[in-house]
Amino acid sequence: MAFVRCLPNGCIAEVIMDDELIELFSSGQDAIFVVFKTPEEGIGIPVSLNGFREGFAALP
C-alpha cells in the first residue's frame, strides 16, 4: 500500500481490493493498520471490521 497524498486532515493510501482481501475483511472481526513514522518504527491501530460486508455490498 502506498500513500498517494497527505492532507492536513490525514493521508490517503491506495490498495487494490482483490477478491481475497475483500473476503478476509468481510469474514474478519478486526484488522490492524500500521502507520510508520520511520521505516523502522510503526504504530499498530486496531480497526473493527464490523459492518464491512454490508457496507461493501451496498457500494454501487
Return the pLDDT at 1: 56
The residues with which 35 forms a beta bridge, in sequence order, are: 43
Return the pLDDT at 35: 79
Instruction: Confirm whether pTM is higher than 0.85.
Output: no
Residue type, 14: E
Tens of pLDDT along 11-49?
777 788 899 999 999 999 999 988 777 878 888 999 999
Q: Is the pLDDT of residue 3 over 80?
A: no
Question: Which helix or strand (DSSP H or E) is residue 56 part of?
Answer: helix 52-57
CB count, 10 Å around CB of 31?
Answer: 14
Chain-centre distance of CA 8, in angstroms?
Answer: 19
Range of the domain at 13: 2-57
Domains contained in the chain, number = 1
Q: How far apart are CA 51 and CA 44, in angstroms?
A: 21
